Amino acid sequence: MPSSKKINILVIHPHCVMSDMISFLLESEFNSQVMSCQSKDNAYQLLSNTHFDLVVSSSQMSDGTGEEIFQTMVDCEKILPFILIDKNGRKISPYKNNSIIAAIPEEKTISDLNTIFSKMLSVDTSSKPDEWTEISLAPLVHMSALPEDIFIQLVSGRKLKIFQAGDTITTDDVKRYSRKQVEKLFLKRSAFCWLIKQIDNAVPEILKNPEGVIYIESSPQIAVKEDELPSFAAIPIQEEFMKQLHEKSKEVIAQMKKNKDLVKLLKSFNVNRAQNAFFKSRIDLVCMISCAVSRELGWMSDAMYEKLIYVSYVHDLTLIENPHLAKLQNAAQLSSQPSLTKDEQNLFLQHPILVANIITKDTRAPAEAALIVRQHHEKPNGQGFPDKLTHTRIMPTSAVLQISIDLAQYILSNPGWTMEAYFADSGQQFRGGPFTKISRSLEKIFKSKH
Ligand SMILES: [Fe+2]
């Protein structure tokens, strides 16, 4: 967030559930404070005696329309950014030279508001990767079940679980925690992203049945059980690998901190392209590139180096016996390989989840490592997997890992590689949110050496 000051938003919507879902998104994701009302008259009252920075209104209330509210505000010279949720998202003509900033179709209420607010507030997710999202409990009463555990934060800063995945939140729960003056709770970032996606999917159903329950599926993170790991996941190799990693991690961190010149380092690095050396070569390259990019971005703490080195080592752990799968970077490359069996395809598509599950059991894993790895095949344009996140949801450290893997793979696949050719080939695939800044940092490292 660019500022810690909360944005005051008025949401005018005739349906309570939809209104609560909009408030849930805006308050949790965009540092805002939302007041809501269900009618035109109530909106006029609130607008006359409360300060708002922005209005989000449905086009149709029982006593009038969103356009009428906008026009009355213009007549009263109360000019605020105004977003209209319209049945069809039709184009609205300006009124007395004032325009509604966006008219969004009601079926896309959640996804479009998310996109508009991300752009409008220039949300910079590259400043700090968040593991937790602060939420209110009340909107969750409309949901069939929690997708994952919910926590409160103790005075010590430690998080304590108070509800678990599958629980249903009731109005009594909300009252109970309100009496204890617990207003804010915490959901893991990945679970929050999953929940928003589920709410977005549920919008057509909410519109059909405005007072109904929103059906929420368990997040895939908890849906994948250990006994569902593919049989050829080579667990003993993973354990040995993790042991070695922890034994030598300090040594690797020291080496990476010492290596200040990535260009020189890559030139002198003896790339072993033999099939049996694939993982070692790629891990070494990913470590070098990710740590150099991190330094260029100004992320130079030991904790950050440790995190990047750890995820460089483990991100494809369950593919260790299948290097042909580890070379694939996206679902399109997967579908271009018709010879792959169904098991191989599943192993590839599930590996970010499977490895994240292994990491959660590693008590020495750096903070956020599981989430970074879970997101390492998510793409800025939302075409990645397993959660189809867009650039606003992908952690910056995961973007660093992903770009580093891409360059490392390029170096291994192209013996005559050059950075110019790489930048030309990689094109615009890493653009949006933290990806833009990280790609530019990589280009800067190379350009400064020419
Ligand atoms: Fe991977």
Q: At what angle do helices 396-413 and 434-447 cross, to 10 degrees?
A: 50
Ligand 1 centroid from CA 120, angstroms: 33
Regarding whether 290 and 168 lie in a shared domain, the answer is no
- Give me the pLDDT at residue 235, please: 44
Q: Supply the range of the domain harboring residue 379.
A: 226-447
In this predicted model, which residue has the larger pLDDT, 273 or 43? Answer: 43
Ligand 1 centroid from CA 316, angstroms: 5
Ligand 1 centroid from CA 160, angstroms: 32
Ligand 1 centroid from CA 86, angstroms: 41
Regarding whether 427 and 338 lie in a shared domain, the answer is yes
**Residue 178: Cβ within 10 Å count:** 12
- The per-residue b/e assignment along 78-117, b for 16 or more CB within 10 angstroms, e otherwise, is eebebbbbbeebeebeeeeeeebebbbebbbbbbbbbebb
Q: In sequence order, what DSSP letters do the residues of 128-145 get, joined into one string?
A: ---SEEEEESGGGGGBSS
Ligand 1 centroid from CA 345, angstroms: 12
Alpha-carbon span 86 to 100, nearest angstrom: 12
Query: Over the stretch 176-191, which tens digit does the pLDDT of each residue have?
Result: 888 888 878 998 877 7
Q: How confident is the model at residue 147 (pLDDT cuts 50, 70, 90)?
A: confident
Regarding whether 384 and 243 lie in a shared domain, the answer is yes
pLDDT above 90 (res 51): yes
Under the phi-then-psi rule, with left for phi > 0, alpha for psi from -120 to 50, and beta for the rest, what region is 12? beta
Question: For the range 105-108, what are the long-range contacts, defined as Cβ-Cβ under 8 Å and sequence gap of 24 or more?
Answer: 106/58, 106/203, 106/207, 107/203, 107/204, 107/207, 108/203
Query: What HEC string does 382-415 produce?
Result: CCCCCCCCCCCCCCHHHHHHHHHHHHHHHHHHCC
Last residue of a domain, one of 191, 207, 223: 223
Q: Region 26-36: what's the mean pLDDT?
A: 91
Alpha-carbon span 126 to 440, nearest angstrom: 13
Q: Region 85-113: what's the mean pLDDT?
A: 89
Regarding whether 19 and 138 lie in a shared domain, the answer is no
Q: Which CATH number covers residue 14?
A: 3.40.50.2300
Regarding whether 388 and 274 lie in a shared domain, the answer is yes
Ligand 1 centroid from CA 266, angstroms: 22
Listed residue (90, 77, 25, 94) closest to 56, CA to CA:
25
pLDDT above 80 (res 155): no
Name residue 150's beta-bridge partners: 163, 187
Dihedral sign (CA 61, 64, 65, 66): negative
Regarding whether 335 and 252 lie in a shared domain, the answer is yes
Q: Region 402-422: what's the mean pLDDT?
A: 91
Ligand 1 centroid from CA 299, angstroms: 23
Regarding whether 9 and 75 lie in a shared domain, the answer is yes
Ligand 1 centroid from CA 70, angstroms: 49
Q: Which CATH number covers residue 242?
A: 1.10.3210.10
Q: How confident is the model at residue 148 (pLDDT cuts 50, 70, 90)?
A: confident
Let me know the angle formed at the C-alpha of 55 by 53 and 56, rounded to the nearest 5 degrees.
Answer: 140
Regarding whether 97 and 28 lie in a shared domain, the answer is yes
Regarding whether 199 and 237 lie in a shared domain, the answer is no
Average pLDDT, the chain: 84
Regarding whether 103 and 151 lie in a shared domain, the answer is no
Ligand 1 centroid from CA 391, angstroms: 18
Q: How many domains does the chain have?
A: 3
Ligand 1 centroid from CA 133, angstroms: 26
Query: Over the stretch 285-316, which tens digit does the pLDDT of each residue have?
Result: 999 899 989 888 888 888 888 899 999 999 99
Last residue of a domain, one of 127, 144, 176: 127
Q: Which amino acid is at 301?
A: S
pLDDT above 80 (res 103): yes
In this predicted model, which residue has the larger pLDDT, 414 or 274? Answer: 414
Ligand 1 centroid from CA 330, angstroms: 9
Last residue of a domain, one of 223, 245, 277: 223
Ligand 1 centroid from CA 411, angstroms: 16
Regarding whether 239 and 384 lie in a shared domain, the answer is yes
Ligand 1 centroid from CA 221, angstroms: 16
Ligand 1 centroid from CA 421, angstroms: 23
Ligand 1 centroid from CA 315, angstroms: 6
Listed residue (253, 308, 305, 293) closest to 446, CA to CA:
293
Query: Over the stretch 56-75, which tens digit does the pLDDT of each residue have?
Result: 999 999 999 999 999 999 99
Regarding whether 442 and 297 lie in a shared domain, the answer is yes
Q: Region 167-172: what's the mean pLDDT?
A: 84
